[in-house]
Chains A and B, each alone.
Chain A
Amino acid sequence: MSSATIAELRESLRAIQGDGLKRRPVLPFGVAALDGRIASGGLRLDSLHEVAAASPDPSDDAAATLFMAGAAARAWGPVLWVVRRRDLFAPGLYQAGLDPDRVLYAEAADDAEVLALMEEGLRHRGLGAVIGEVKRAAMPNTRRLQLAAEGGKTIALLLKRHAREGGNPLHVPSAAITRWRIGSAPSEPLPVEGVGRACWHVALVRQRGGEPFETIMEACDETGRLALPARLADRTAAADGADRYSYVEAA
Chain B
Amino acid sequence: MERTDIATSRQLEGEVARRNSEAISHSDKPGRRSEASSDDSGLARVAAPLANAAAAEHAIACSVPRGGGWRPGAKWAREDTSARVSEHLDTPRHGKAKVAAQIAALPAHQRPPLRELGRRSEAAASPFRAMPPDEATGGQPFRPPGALPKSLGPSQSVPPRKREPRATRDSARDSGPPPARGNGAPPPLVTSLKHGSRLVIAAACPAARAFGLTPGMAITQARALVPDLDIRDADPAGDAADLLRLATTAARRWTPLAAVSGADGLLLDITGTAHLFGGEAKMARRIVRLLARLGYTARVAVADTPGAAWATARFRRPGEGRGRYAWGNRPAQHPSGPGLRRGDGFVIVPPAEHPAALAPLPLAALRLDPAAIDALVHLGVETVGQLAAMPRAPLARRFGDALITRLDQAHGRVAEPLDPVIPPEPIAVVQRFAEPIATAEAIEHWLGKLMLHLVTALTQAGKGARMIELVADRIDGVPQHLRIGLARPSRDAAHMLRLITRRIEEIAPGYGIDTLALHVRRADPLGAQPFEERLEERAADIAPLVDALANRIGDARLWRIQPVESDVPERSLASAPPLADAARPTARLKSDDVRQLDRGVDLHPWHPRWPRPARLLRRPELLDHVIAELPDQPPRRFTWRGETHRIVCADGPERILGEWWQRTAEAQSVRDYFRVEDEAGHRFWLFRRGDGERPETGDLAWFIHGAFG
**657-701 of chain B: CB within 8 A of chain A:** 675-677, 679-684
Q: Is B544 at the interface (CB under 8 A from chain A)? A: yes
> Can you add 12 more A-B contacts, CB < 8 Å, to A77-B539, A184-B683?
A59-B682, A60-B682, A61-B707, A67-B709, A87-B617, A89-B569, A89-B616, A91-B573, A92-B615, A117-B553, A124-B542, A220-B709
CA–CA, A42 and B679, complex, Å: 32
In the complex, residue of chain A having the shortest beta-carbon distance to the beta carbon of B704: A58
Q: Is A106 at the interface (CB under 8 A from chain B)? A: yes
**A126 B682 Cβ-Cβ under 8 A:** no
One digit per residue, 1 when the CB lies within 8 angstroms of any chain B CB and 0 when it does not, for chain A 47-73 equals 000000000011111111111010000
One digit per residue, 1 when the CB lies within 8 angstroms of any chain A CB and 0 when it does not, for chain B 639-650 equals 000000000111
One digit per residue, 1 when the CB lies within 8 angstroms of any chain B CB and 0 when it does not, for chain A 182-202 equals 101111011001111011100
List the B side residues contacting A96 at CB < 8 Å: 614
- Known contacts A90-B573, A91-B606; A105 and B614 CB within 8 A of each other: no
Contact among B562, B612, B675 for A95, CB-based, below 8 A: B612
A-side interface residues, number (CB < 8 Å): 60
List the A side residues contacting B676 at CB < 8 Å: 195
**2-61 of chain A: CB within 8 A of chain B:** 57-61
Q: Is B30 at the interface (CB under 8 A from chain A)? A: no
Q: Is A78 at the interface (CB under 8 A from chain B)? A: yes
Q: Is A88 at the interface (CB under 8 A from chain B)? A: yes
CA–CA, A222 and B611, complex, Å: 12
A143 → chain B closest CB, angstroms: 21
A62 → chain B closest CB, angstroms: 4
In the complex, 6 of the A-B residue pairs with CB atoms within 8 angstroms, ordered by the A residue number, are: A59-B707, A59-B708, A67-B709, A89-B569, A124-B548, A187-B649
Q: Is A177 at the interface (CB under 8 A from chain B)? A: no
- Known contacts A89-B615, A94-B608, A195-B675; A187 and B683 CB within 8 A of each other: yes
B200 → chain A closest CB, angstroms: 44
CA–CA, A125 and B537, complex, Å: 12
**97-140 of chain A: CB within 8 A of chain B:** 100-101, 103-109, 113, 116-117, 120-121, 124-127
**B615 A88 Cβ-Cβ under 8 A:** yes
Contact among B549, B557, B648, B682 for A184, CB-based, below 8 A: B682
Q: Is A219 at the interface (CB under 8 A from chain B)? A: yes
CA–CA, A59 and B615, complex, Å: 9
Q: Which secondary structure dominates where chain B touches chain A?
A: mixed
Q: Is B90 at the interface (CB under 8 A from chain A)? A: no
List the B side residues contacting A148 at CB < 8 Å: none
- Known contacts A185-B681, A186-B681; A59 and B709 CB within 8 A of each other: yes
**B677 A195 Cβ-Cβ under 8 A:** yes
Q: Is B559 at the interface (CB under 8 A from chain A)? A: yes
- Known contacts A59-B707, A87-B617, A117-B552; A104 and B546 CB within 8 A of each other: yes
**A124 B613 Cβ-Cβ under 8 A:** no
List the B side residues contacting A220 at CB < 8 Å: 709
**521-579 of chain B: CB within 8 A of chain A:** 539-542, 544-546, 548-549, 552-553, 557-563, 569, 572-573, 578
B-side interface residues, number (CB < 8 Å): 52
List the A side residues contacting B681 at CB < 8 Å: 59, 184-187, 199
- Known contacts A77-B539, A89-B569, A92-B613; A120 and B552 CB within 8 A of each other: yes
List the A side residues contacting B558 at CB < 8 Å: 104-107
- Known contacts A89-B614, A94-B608, A124-B542; A198 and B683 CB within 8 A of each other: yes
List the B side residues contacting A57 at CB < 8 Å: 682, 707
Q: Is B618 at the interface (CB under 8 A from chain A)? A: yes
**569-595 of chain B: CB within 8 A of chain A:** 569, 572-573, 578, 582
One digit per residue, 1 when the CB lies within 8 angstroms of any chain B CB and 0 when it does not, for chain A 214-248 equals 00000110100000000000000000000000000
**B682 A117 Cβ-Cβ under 8 A:** no
- Known contacts A186-B648, A194-B651; A95 and B682 CB within 8 A of each other: no
CA–CA, A87 and B614, complex, Å: 9
- Known contacts A62-B615, A186-B681, A222-B608; A195 and B549 CB within 8 A of each other: no
CA–CA, A77 and B541, complex, Å: 11
Contact among B539, B549, B608, B677 for A120, CB-based, below 8 A: B549
CA–CA, A69 and B708, complex, Å: 13
B585 → chain A closest CB, angstroms: 13
**A69 B614 Cβ-Cβ under 8 A:** yes
CA–CA, A185 and B651, complex, Å: 17
List the A side residues contacting B572 at CB < 8 Å: 91
CA–CA, A154 and B648, complex, Å: 41
Q: Is B609 at the interface (CB under 8 A from chain A)? A: yes
Q: Which of B542, B553, B611, B682 has the most CB of A within 10 A?
A: B682
Q: Is A156 at the interface (CB under 8 A from chain B)? A: no
- Known contacts A66-B709, A198-B683; A187 and B677 CB within 8 A of each other: yes
Q: Is B706 at the interface (CB under 8 A from chain A)? A: yes
**B540 A87 Cβ-Cβ under 8 A:** no
Q: Is A93 at the interface (CB under 8 A from chain B)? A: yes
CA–CA, A80 and B545, complex, Å: 10
**A126 B578 Cβ-Cβ under 8 A:** no
**A106 B615 Cβ-Cβ under 8 A:** no
List the B side residues contacting A100 at CB < 8 Å: 560-563, 573
In the complex, residue of chain B having the shortest beta-carbon distance to the beta carbon of A185: B681
List the A side residues contacting B684 at CB < 8 Å: 58-59
A6 → chain B closest CB, angstroms: 31
CA–CA, A199 and B682, complex, Å: 10
**A58 B545 Cβ-Cβ under 8 A:** no
CA–CA, A26 and B614, complex, Å: 26
List the B side residues contacting A95 at CB < 8 Å: 606, 608-609, 611-612
Contact among B557, B612, B618, B677 for A92, CB-based, below 8 A: B612
In the complex, residue of chain B having the shortest beta-carbon distance to the beta carbon of A96: B614
**A125 B540 Cβ-Cβ under 8 A:** yes
List the B side residues contacting A88 at CB < 8 Å: 614-616
In the complex, residue of chain A having the shortest beta-carbon distance to the beta carbon of B675: A195
Contact among A66, A87, A106, A219 for B618, CB-based, below 8 A: A87
Contact among B546, B615, B675 for A65, CB-based, below 8 A: B615
In the complex, residue of chain B having the shortest beta-carbon distance to the beta carbon of A83: B557
**419-443 of chain B: CB within 8 A of chain A:** none
**B542 A62 Cβ-Cβ under 8 A:** no
In the complex, residue of chain A having the shortest beta-carbon distance to the beta carbon of B558: A106
**A104 B709 Cβ-Cβ under 8 A:** no
List the A side residues contacting B541 at CB < 8 Å: 126
In the complex, residue of chain B having the shortest beta-carbon distance to the beta carbon of A106: B558
One digit per residue, 1 when the CB lies within 8 angstroms of any chain A CB and 0 when it does not, for chain B 617-639 equals 11000000000000000000000
In the complex, residue of chain B having the shortest beta-carbon distance to the beta carbon of A88: B615
**A124 B540 Cβ-Cβ under 8 A:** yes
List the B side residues contacting A117 at CB < 8 Å: 549, 552-553
A229 → chain B closest CB, angstroms: 13
**B706 A89 Cβ-Cβ under 8 A:** yes
In the complex, residue of chain A having the shortest beta-carbon distance to the beta carbon of B559: A105
In the complex, residue of chain B having the shortest beta-carbon distance to the beta carbon of A223: B608
CA–CA, A194 and B650, complex, Å: 5
B606 → chain A closest CB, angstroms: 4
CA–CA, A109 and B553, complex, Å: 8
**A116 B552 Cβ-Cβ under 8 A:** yes
B515 → chain A closest CB, angstroms: 32
A104 → chain B closest CB, angstroms: 6
A186 → chain B closest CB, angstroms: 4
